[in-house]
Every structure is written in structure tokens, then in C-alpha cells.
């Protein structure tokens, strides 16, 4: 068992659905390398992202708060100055903090998510941005080159930041002329291999790290994000029909270039060929990224770096591939988006090997879990450490909020206002999980109740069958989204099981033991 504070690897597989990993029961072998890590780890079968898209979900993992609490709800939002991020806590607690990020919404946009990192490398754009040049050669020519790269990267970052904050520029970026430019020239999906190589080098060589100083590395990979361009070997294995079917090729080419189509709901269901194409190409990307992760973890294992590294593997959200006529990850709060993988490999064995946890948990608690492992959590924060979920008696409400990205809604309003109205694209969706049930409440619409254990694809709405369950969970959601004179956080208000009436009703409905 390690005697020193562990290194911590916080690995976010952007846009990774849990149900497309073989360690989560998927019938296709998409993730043999993640499966191997999971066999040495604790796997959470019902982990829930706090939000349905990148910015609010990352902010929740970095602050331990739900979206309506931390306030990063839009692409133009900025982290409040009075919130201390996970990286800031770890940095102040003695950790060397480094980010290796492929998502421009986290690594480029000036929203505060980079706060607290001593080094933050961004792999999306014409050049890799290196805000901190640790280990750079002191030579005059080298210093000039690094200065020039920083200036160019700074200009590109400001341009990308402007596109995220302007409806007009966002609409321009979706035009047929611009899409090929930012998908290829600007390396929209970043560079998975390079970012993993740089991360491994930090753990192994420890350049810029003081003697006996632990390392915290945050990594975001975009391999499973649209567009889909997996290497041929993976297409042959998971989507072989695409290589021979001209119609499938045409559909995929059109899909990869239709960025607006990644955001807006479908006006009709995909046909069988289209669904098969998207499913297969997504699986191919999952498997390709998994192979790259295999190389990365093998390197850490062979050099002994895994022996003292807490590894957290999760996703910020999933992806709709036509289910319920949704695409992408802008609007819904169904399981395709908010049920995410969560695997924790712990050298201290606080999270046991080859263990599966069935309790519903929120990824916001990764904030508390990391701080606890680092020896920096307060007593209150330690109570939300995910080791608590290993106890069979733990029962808790878990929430998620799908607040629509306003610039996306504005774009849809201009193009398809009737679609916005019919599919409630401009409405906030919130969900609460308790026990086996999940209640979805969409502003101005009828509620939905699902049994997430028996019906993970959420096909049977139980709201008309279990009205008492609906009533209790609705009250919980109202408390979560409401105000409190006592000054409690929304999570504290909604999980107050000390109220005798609340406990009685929970017990009657089977959510709490007598």
C-alpha cells in the first residue's frame, strides 16, 4: 500500500456512452483495454453526469456543485471568482497540477476551467498551446520560437473564444465553407496520441516536478466525438458495410459535414441503414481510442507509475445517435447522455479491485473523492467521497440538469422555430434518481418516470402507473431547484432525510429501509 500521497490521473473520455463499453455489458468488444483496467478497479454501473454537455459537466466535476449552483451554464459563462476549483485546491495543497486537453470548450475558451493548473496544454487548434513552458530550452532561438508559438496560439484562442460567445460567428462556423476548415485545419478533435504521450512523459520523467511532489493530471480526450473518421481497420471491424455501401458512405459524409445536424433533434427517425452506420462508426471510434489508451496504460504499468497513481476514468456526457429522434448532446437528459462510465483504480485499495457498485452516484462527487484521496478534504467534503457508495446502505437523491446552450437554441430558432416549439428545445430539463426510479421534468411538459434498472433505455413511462412516486420525486425536484431561507445548498435541501414525514414516505415507497 502506498505510504505517500498518490499521483492522480483524472481521465475524461469526452462523449463516451457507458453502454458502448464492453465492461458495461456491450455485446461488441469495443474496450478490451478499459476492461482490463476495470478488472483492477471499482466500476460504477449507474454513474450520472450532472449535465448533458461539456462546460457545465466539467464545472461540476471541478467544483463538486450542480450546474445551477456553479453557474457555468452557457458557452459564454465564466466561473465565479469565489469558487475554488479542484485544481486550485490541489495546487495549494502541494500537488503539481497539469492539464492535457483536446476539447476547446475546456482548454481554449476563457471560462475559468483552467484555473489552478501550473501547466495546461491544449491540443485543439493549429498549434498546441503551452501557457507554461516548463523544461523549454534556454537558448535564444528556442525562446523566440516558444514566444512566437504563444502569440499565434493566443490569437487563435481569442478567435475561438469569440466564436463561442457570438451567435453570428457560431452560425458562420456551421456554414459549408467553414466546417471543413475547423474540422481539419483547426484539429477539432485534437490529438489523442500526443496528449497521452505528453501525460505519460509527465508521470514518468516528472519534468518541472519537485522531489516527492505528487502529480495531478487532468486529461480530456475527444476520440468518440463527432465527426467519425476512425482508421480503416476499425471501420472494417465495427462498420464493414460502410466500406462497400455507397449510400452509407454518402450518408456518413453528409453527416460528418452537417454540424447543425449534430445539435438539433431529428424531424423523423433514422432508417435502419443510417442507424447502423452511426452506431458502427461510433463503436469504431470507441475501439480506436481504447487501443490508444492501452498503449498509454501499458507504458505507465511497465515503468511502475501505476503503483502509486489513483486512476479515475469517466465521461462528461454521452451521445444521442438517433434514439428518441435526438442527436448529439445539447438538449435531452435521457440515459444516452447522462449515464456515463466511471471507473476508479486505487493503489490504496479504498476502491477494491474487480468491484461493481450499483448505487446511483453523481460525477460531481469526483471533486470530493479526489480531495479525500489527496488528504485535502474537509470533514463535510469527505462525506461525499465515493467510497461512501461502497456501503450497501447508502441511499441518496442524485440530480442532473439539462439547461439548453442558448446559442444553439438561437440558431435553431432561426432555422427551425417549429422544431424548437414541438421538441421543447428551449426548455430546461431536470432529473432526479432515487433507488431504481428516475423522474424527468421538462418545463411546461408532462413528467416522465422510468425504472432505470429494468428499463435502461427508458422506453416505458411509468408516471401514470406510479403517481405517488411521481409526487414525491417532483417535490424533491422542486426543492432542488427552489430557494431556501436556511441557506442550504440545493443538494442539502433535497436530501434531508431527517424530516420524519419525508422518511416515512420514502420508506413506504421502498426507497429507504425501515
CATH of the domain at 431: 3.30.1120
**Any domain includes 403:** no
Comparing 177 with 45, which gets the higher pLDDT?
A: 45
Q: How many domains does the chain have?
A: 2
pLDDT digits (tens, 9 = 90+) for 60-116: 999 999 999 999 999 889 999 999 999 999 999 999 999 999 998 998 888 999 999
Judgement on whether residues 302 and 164 belong to the same structural domain of the protein: yes
Judgement on whether residues 378 and 458 belong to the same structural domain of the protein: no
Comparing 464 with 514, which gets the higher pLDDT?
A: 464
Q: Give the whole-angstrom CA distance, residue 440 versus residue 469.
A: 12
Judgement on whether residues 355 and 458 belong to the same structural domain of the protein: no
Where residue 2 falls among pLDDT bands split at 50, 70, 90? very low
Judgement on whether residues 320 and 437 belong to the same structural domain of the protein: no
pLDDT digits (tens, 9 = 90+) for 8-31: 999 999 999 999 999 999 999 999
Q: Please state, for a pLDDT cut of 90, what percent of the chain lies above it.
A: 74
Judgement on whether residues 379 and 483 belong to the same structural domain of the protein: no
Judgement on whether residues 367 and 500 belong to the same structural domain of the protein: no
Residue 89 lies in domain: 7-390
Dihedral sign computed on CA atoms, order 409, 415, 417, 421: negative
Boundary of a domain, candidates 390, 414, 438: 390
Judgement on whether residues 139 and 275 belong to the same structural domain of the protein: yes
Judgement on whether residues 456 and 380 belong to the same structural domain of the protein: no
pLDDT at 133 (0 to 100):
36
Judgement on whether residues 154 and 299 belong to the same structural domain of the protein: yes
**Any domain includes 328:** yes
Judgement on whether residues 338 and 207 belong to the same structural domain of the protein: yes
Q: Give the whole-angstrom CA distance, residue 280 versus residue 24.
A: 17
**Any domain includes 457:** yes
CATH of the domain at 143: 3.40.720.10
pLDDT digits (tens, 9 = 90+) for 278-291: 999 999 999 999 99
Boundary of a domain, candidates 369, 390, 411: 390
The H or E element spanning position 105 is: helix 104-107
Q: Give the whole-angstrom CA distance, residue 326 versus residue 408.
A: 14
- Residue 399 and residue 50 in contact, taking contact as beta carbons nearer than 8 Å: yes
Judgement on whether residues 435 and 386 belong to the same structural domain of the protein: no
Grid cell digits, residue 214: 505528487
**Any domain includes 408:** no
Q: Give Cα 305 distance to the centre of its chain.
A: 25
**Any domain includes 411:** no
Where residue 422 falls among pLDDT bands split at 50, 70, 90? very high
Buried b (16+ CB within 10 A) or exposed e, 361-389: bbbbbbbbbbbbbbebbeeebeebbbbbb
**Any domain includes 404:** no
**Any domain includes 93:** yes
Q: Which of 221, 222, 285 is nearest to 252 (CA)?
A: 285
In this structure, how many other beta carbons lie within 10 angstroms of the beta carbon of residue 212?
8
**Any domain includes 409:** no
Where residue 152 falls among pLDDT bands split at 50, 70, 90? very low
Comparing 152 with 166, which gets the higher pLDDT?
A: 166
Judgement on whether residues 180 and 85 belong to the same structural domain of the protein: yes
Boundary of a domain, candidates 390, 416, 448: 390
pTM: 0.88
pLDDT digits (tens, 9 = 90+) for 359-386: 999 999 999 999 999 999 999 999 999 9
Amino acid at each position: 500500500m502506498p505510504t505517500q500521497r498518490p499521483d492522480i490521473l483524472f481521465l475524461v473520455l469526452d462523449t463516451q456512452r457507458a453502454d458502448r463499453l464492453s465492461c458495461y455489458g456491450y455485446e461488441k468488444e469495443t474496450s478490451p483495454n478499459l476492461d482490463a483496467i476495470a478488472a483492477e478497479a471499482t466500476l460504477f454501473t449507474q454513474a450520472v453526469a450532472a449535465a448533458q454537455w461539456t462546460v457545465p459537466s466539467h464545472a461540476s466535476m471541478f467544483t463538486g456543485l450542480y450546474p445551477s449552483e456553479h453557474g457555468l451554464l452557457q458557452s459564454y459563462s465564466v466561473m465565479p471568482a469565489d469558487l475554488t476549483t479542484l485544481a486550485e485546491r490541489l495546487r495549494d495543497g502541494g500537488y503539481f497540477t497539469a492539464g492535457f486537453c483536446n476539447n476547446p470548450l475546456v482548454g481554449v475558451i476563457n471560462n475559468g476551467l483552467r484555473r489552478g493548473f501550473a501547466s495546461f496544454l491544449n491540443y485543439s487548434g493549429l498549434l498546441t498551446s503551452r501557457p507554461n513552458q516548463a523544461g523549454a530550452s534556454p537558448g535564444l532561438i528556442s525562446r523566440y520560437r516558444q514566444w512566437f508559438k504563444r502569440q499565434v496560439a493566443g490569437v487563435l484562442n481569442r478567435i475561438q473564444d469569440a466564436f463561442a460567445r457570438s451567435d453570428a460567428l457560431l452560425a458562420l462556423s456551421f456554414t459549408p465553407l467553414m466546417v471543413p476548415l475547423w474540422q481539419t485545419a483547426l484539429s477539432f478533435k485534437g490529438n489523442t496520441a500526443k496528449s497521452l504521450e505528453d501525460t505519460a512523459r509527465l508521470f514518468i520523467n516528472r519534468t518541472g516536478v519537485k522531489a516527492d511532489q505528487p502529480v495531478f493530471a487532468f486529461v480530456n480526450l475527444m476520440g468518440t466525438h463527432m465527426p467519425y473518421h476512425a482508421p480503416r481497420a476499425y471501420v472494417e471491424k465495427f462498420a464493414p458495410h460502410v466500406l462497400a455501401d455507397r449510400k452509407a458512405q454518402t450518408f456518413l459524409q453528409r453527416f460528418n459535414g452537417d454540424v447543425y445536424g449534430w445539435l438539433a433533434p431529428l424531424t423523423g427517425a433514422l432508417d435502419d441503414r443510417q442507424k447502423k452506420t452511426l452506431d458502427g462508426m461510433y463503436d469504431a471510434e470507441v475501439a480506436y481510442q481504447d487501443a490508444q489508451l492501452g498503449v498509454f496504460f501499458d507504458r505507465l504499468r511497465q515503468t511502475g507509475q501505476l503503483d502509486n497513481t489513483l486512476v479515475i476514468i469517466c465521461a462528461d456526457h454521452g451521445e444521442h445517435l438517433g434514439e428518441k429522434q435526438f442527436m448529439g448532446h445539447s438538449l435531452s437528459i435521457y440515459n444516452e447522455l447522462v449515464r456515463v462510465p466511471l471507473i476508479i483504480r486505487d493503489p490504496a485499495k479504498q476502491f477494491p479491485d474487480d468491484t461493481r457498485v450499483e448505487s446511483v452516484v453523481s460525477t460531481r462527487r469526483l471533486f470530493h473523492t479526489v480531495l479525500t484521496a489527496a488528504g485535502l478534504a474537509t470533514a463535510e467534503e469527505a462525506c461525499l467521497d465515493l467510497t461512501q457508495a461502497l456501503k450497501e446502505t447508502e441511499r441518496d437523491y442524485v440530480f442532473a440538469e439539462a439547461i439548453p446552450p442558448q446559442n444553439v437554441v438561437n440558431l435553431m430558432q432561426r432555422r427551425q422555430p417549429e422544431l424548437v416549439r414541438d421538441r421543447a428545445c428551449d426548455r430546461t430539463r431536470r432529473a432526479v434518481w432515487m433507488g431504481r426510479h428516475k423522474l424527468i421534468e421538462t418545463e411546461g411538459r408532462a413528467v416522465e418516470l422510468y425504472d432505470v434498472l429494468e428499463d435502461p433505455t427508458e422506453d416505458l413511462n411509468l408516471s401514470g402507473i406510479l403517481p405517488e412516486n411521481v409526487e414525491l420525486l417532483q417535490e424533491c425536484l422542486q426543492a432542488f431547484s427552489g430557494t431556501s431561507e436556511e441557506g442550504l445548498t440545493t443538494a442539502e435541501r433535497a436530501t434531508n432525510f431527517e424530516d420524519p414525514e419525508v422518511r416515512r414516505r420514502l420508506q413506504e415507497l421502498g426507497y429507504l429501509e425501515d
